[in-house]
């Protein structure tokens, strides 16, 4: 290739870039890329700062911090196991209760309900998702905790099951799980409804034309197509439950130990940070709380990344 040809190509490239710059394409690309880069940098900064601000904990305890059950600020012995246990137990128990309810509501709104009823109910669901968590906590203290203490927990303890024993405090893992259930159901409903609506209409019409009933179409065609997106909605709800602070703090009991009964009090990672951060007097105590926040941040990021990936896969399948 001659020097003249190379110079001609370089000039054409400069001309194309300048023309795109005049039209605003290149400016828009660079500007939006900078915005996306800022988000990535902020996320990386959060990760690094949470880790870097707790060096004493990682040097003194190492990975033992994740499975040690001791939490004694006086003796400066810290282990995050009770808080990880409480967070995981309440979150997964809330999912067991919320997933059937949320997916059932989403199926009703998308496939079975009249259009006006579906739109009105969807609006109410979105409003419930916007209610502050402290409101759920106040309602739980005024209504749910007394009901659990006088009615539900004594009845469950009478079954004799080992994980439902002990005195009825009203607060505890089960109460916190119920509050989380009410809080994450709107998220499951909203995301599952969008995923179900993304299923191509042609698939529903083809199944109905072959003689399937509405429920058979929903069960055999719509749900299998949208299953990854629904799983993604469940993961998003799990991420919301893992990071919940105020409502759980108000009803879980705030006892830093691994309980053997769902009726007993416990603790969560977000709750211990909210309760003890302003009262931490030693550097080790303060850095232990920051380390708990680091563990919670990593868990939440992983779960939300998996959820987004599943929803993206479902959306692309619907468009193809």
pLDDT digits (tens, 9 = 90+) for 46-66: 999 999 999 999 999 888 999
pLDDT surpasses 80 at 304: no
Band the pLDDT of 228: cuts 50, 70, 90.
confident
Name the nearest CA neighbour of 89 among 250, 264, 233.
264
Give residue 199's pLDDT band: very low, low, confident or very high (50, 70, 90).
confident
Cβ count within 10 A of residue 312: 13
Of 13-27, 111-125, 277-291, 299-313, minimum mean pLDDT range: 13-27
Q: With 60 as the cut, is the pLDDT of residue 204 above it?
A: yes
Please state, in angstroms and rounded to a whole number, the distance separating the CA atoms of residues 249 and 182: 15
Whether the CB-CB separation of 245 and 274 falls below 8 Å is answered with: yes
Backbone phi, then psi, for 44, in 5-degree steps?
-65, -35
Report angle CA 76, 79, 81 to the nearest 5 degrees. 160
User: What is the pLDDT of the chain when averaged over all its residues?
Assistant: 85
Digit-coded pLDDT (tens) for 104-138? 999 999 888 888 888 888 888 888 888 888 899 99
3-class secondary structure per residue, the chain: CCHHHHHHHHHHHHHHHHHHHHHCHHHHHHHHHHHHHHHHHHHHHHHHHHHHCCHHHHHHCCCHHHHCCCEECCCCEECCHHHHHHHHHHHHHHHHHHHHHHHHHHHHHHHHCCHHHHHHHHHHHHHHHCCCHHHHHHHHHHHHHHHHHHHHHHHHHCCCCHHHCCCCCCCCHHHHHHHHHHHHHHHHHHHHHHHHHCCCHHHHHHHHHCCCCHHHHHHHHHHHHHHHHHHHHHHHHHHHHHCCCHHHHHHCECCCCCCCCCCCCECCHHHHHHHHHHHCCCHHHHHHHHHHHHHHHHHHHHHHHHHHHHHHHHHHHHHC
pLDDT score for 214 = 83
Determine what percent of the chain is predicted with pLDDT higher than 90.
Answer: 31
Q: How confident is the model at residue 303 (pLDDT cuts 50, 70, 90)?
A: confident
Q: Which residues contact 227 (CB under 8 A, 6 or more apart)?
A: 314
| Res 6: pLDDT | 46
Say if residue 16's pLDDT is above 80.
Answer: no
Q: Domain residue spans in the chain?
A: 3-52, 60-319
**Does position 156 have pLDDT exceeding 50, yes or no?**
yes
Give the fold, CATH level 3, of 60-319: MetI-like fold (1.10.3720)
Extract the tokens encoding 142. 């005024």
Of 217, 266, 247, give the one whose Cα is nearest residue 110.
217
Count of other CB atoms within 10 angstroms of residue 228: 18
Which pair of structure tokens corresponds to residue 114? 């009249």
pLDDT tens track for 32-43: 888 889 989 998
Q: What's the farthest any 2 CA atoms get from each other in the chain?
A: 92
Does residue 315 contact residue 234 with C-beta atoms inside 8 Å?
no
What is the percent of the chain with per-residue pLDDT over 70, rounded to a whole number?
A: 90
Tell me the two tokens of residue 48.
């690094």
Query: What whole-number distance in Å separates Cα of residue 8 and Cα of residue 211?
Result: 65
With cut-offs at 50, 70 and 90, classify the pLDDT of residue 306: confident
Look at residue 165 in the predicted model and tell me its pLDDT: 81
pLDDT at residue number 297:
92
> For the residues 286-315, what does the mean pLDDT come to?
83
The pLDDT score that the predictor gives to residue 287 is 92
pLDDT (mean) for 136-152:
92
Q: Residue 2 has what pLDDT?
A: 54
pTM reported for the whole predicted model: 0.81
Q: Tokens for 81?
A: 């196991």
Per the listing, tokens 């108000």 go with 250
């Amino acid at each position: 290739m001659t020097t003249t040809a190379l110079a001609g190509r370089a000039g054409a490239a400069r001309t194309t870039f300048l023309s795109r710059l005049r039209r605003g394409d290149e400016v828009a690309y660079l500007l939006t890329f900078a915005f996306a880069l800022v988000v990535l940098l902020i996320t990386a900064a959060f990760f690094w700062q949470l880790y870097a601000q707790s060096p004493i904990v990682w040097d003194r305890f190492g990975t033992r911090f994740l499975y040690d059950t001791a939490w004694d600020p006086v003796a400066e012995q810290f282990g995050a196991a009770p808080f990880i246990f409480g967070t995981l137990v309440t979150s997964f128990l809330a999912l067991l209760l919320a997933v059937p309810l949320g997916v059932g509501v989403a199926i009703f709104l998308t496939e079975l309900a009249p259009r006006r009823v579906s739109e009105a109910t969807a609006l109410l669901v979105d409003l419930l998702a916007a209610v502050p968590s402290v409101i759920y906590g106040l309602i739980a203290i005024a209504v749910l905790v007394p009901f659990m203490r006088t009615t539900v927990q004594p009845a469950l303890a009478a079954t004799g099951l080992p994980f439902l024993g002990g005195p009825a405090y009203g607060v505890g893992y089960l109460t916190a799980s119920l509050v989380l259930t009410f809080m994450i159901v709107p998220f499951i409903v909203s995301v599952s409804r969008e995923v179900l609506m993304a299923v191509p209409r042609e698939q529903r019409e083809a199944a109905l034309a072959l003689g399937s009933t509405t429920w058979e179409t929903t069960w055999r065609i719509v749900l299998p197509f949208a299953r990854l997106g629904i799983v993604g909605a469940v993961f998003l709800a799990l991420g919301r439950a893992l990071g919940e602070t105020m409502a759980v703090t108000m009803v879980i009991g705030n006892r830093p130990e691994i309980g053997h009964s769902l009726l007993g009090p416990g603790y969560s990672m977000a709750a211990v940070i909210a309760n003890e951060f302003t009262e931490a007097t030693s550097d080790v105590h303060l850095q232990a709380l920051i380390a708990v926040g680091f563990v919670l941040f990593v868990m939440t990021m992983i779960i939300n990344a998996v959820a987004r990936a599943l929803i993206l896969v479902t959306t692309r399948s619907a468009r193809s």
